[in-house]
Chains A and B, each alone.
Chain A
Amino acid sequence: DAGVTQSPTHLIKTRGQQVTLRCSPKSGHDTVSWYQQALGQGPQFIFQYYEEEERQRGNFPDRFSGHQFPNYSSELNVNALLLGDSALYLCASSPRGAYNEQFFGPGTRLTVL
């Protein structure tokens, strides 16, 4: 049984560009959450998707947006990249009815130059 998968593993962008990160949840999971982890800090909640809709959002600007597809996979989009967006972006999936049981993927390391 594959766990949560994320792509790409690493990404380098320049300021002002846009980026799309992808996540496939564990089999049987229908909820996807995204977190940003800056170096040396704990993950910060960006948003959670359920039934193809954003169910909850953390304290992140509108430059951060997402999408969930009918197969439960998800994308995180960040527009107008800033240097401060450099971080590890983690995707987590949850089984139906247990949204706080979150299983994390390996993350995408984004570097903004």
Chain B
Amino acid sequence: GDSVTQMEGPVTLSEEAFLTINCTYTATGYPSLFWYVQYPGEGLQLLLKATKADDKGSNKGFEATYRKETTSFHLEKGSVQVSDSAVYFCALSDSDDYKLSFGAGTTVTVRA
């Protein structure tokens, strides 16, 4: 079945540091890939998405590229801020499926 594996956290960074969160996936079809962010006490917000191989999703300084050859969708940001502290979830939706399958989440804390 479909599955998503994320880099384990927690991750603690200083402001302006570079952030990478690794995500790999297993899918039977041609999935769409997503990154969601969850701030404390809130629901999930869609951060970015990519629907086919080599697509790059980007939003708010975050980027992720859909790599079919390595089945990966790593999230990156060049310079993090304290406001980026949150839990980040990688997710996929397979081509013959209606649901989202999520990774376990990576907690990121950015210190001033």
Q: Are B101 and A45 in contact (CB under 8 A)?
A: yes
Give 1 or 0 for each of B22-42: 1 = CB within 8 Å of chain A CB.
Answer: 000000000010001000001
Cβ–Cβ contact A107 & B98, under 8 A? no
A20 near B: Cβ within 8 Å?
Answer: no
Contact between chains at A105 and B43 (CB < 8 Å): yes
- The residue in chain B whose Cβ has the minimal distance to the Cβ of A100 is B93
Q: Are A42 and B98 in contact (CB under 8 A)?
A: no
Tell me how far the C-beta of B6 lies from the nearest C-beta in chain A, rounded to whole angstroms.
8
- Shortest Cβ gap from A22 to chain B (Å): 15
Minimal beta-carbon separation of B96 from chain A (angstroms) = 11
On chain B, the number of residues with a Cβ less than 8 Å from chain A's Cβ atoms is: 21
* CA gap between A41 and B44 in the complex, in Å: 13
Chain B 71-107 residues near chain A, CB threshold 8 A = 89, 91, 93, 97-105
Name 12 extra pairs, CB < 8 A, besides A45-B100, A48-B99: A4-B43, A40-B104, A41-B104, A42-B102, A43-B100, A44-B102, A58-B99, A100-B100, A101-B49, A105-B43, A107-B42, A107-B43
CB-defined A-B contacts under 8 Å, sample of 13: A33-B99, A35-B100, A41-B104, A43-B89, A45-B100, A56-B97, A90-B44, A100-B32, A100-B98, A102-B46, A102-B100, A104-B36, A104-B45
Q: What is B's interface to A at a CB cutoff of 8 Å?
A: 4, 32, 36, 42-46, 49, 89, 91, 93, 97-105
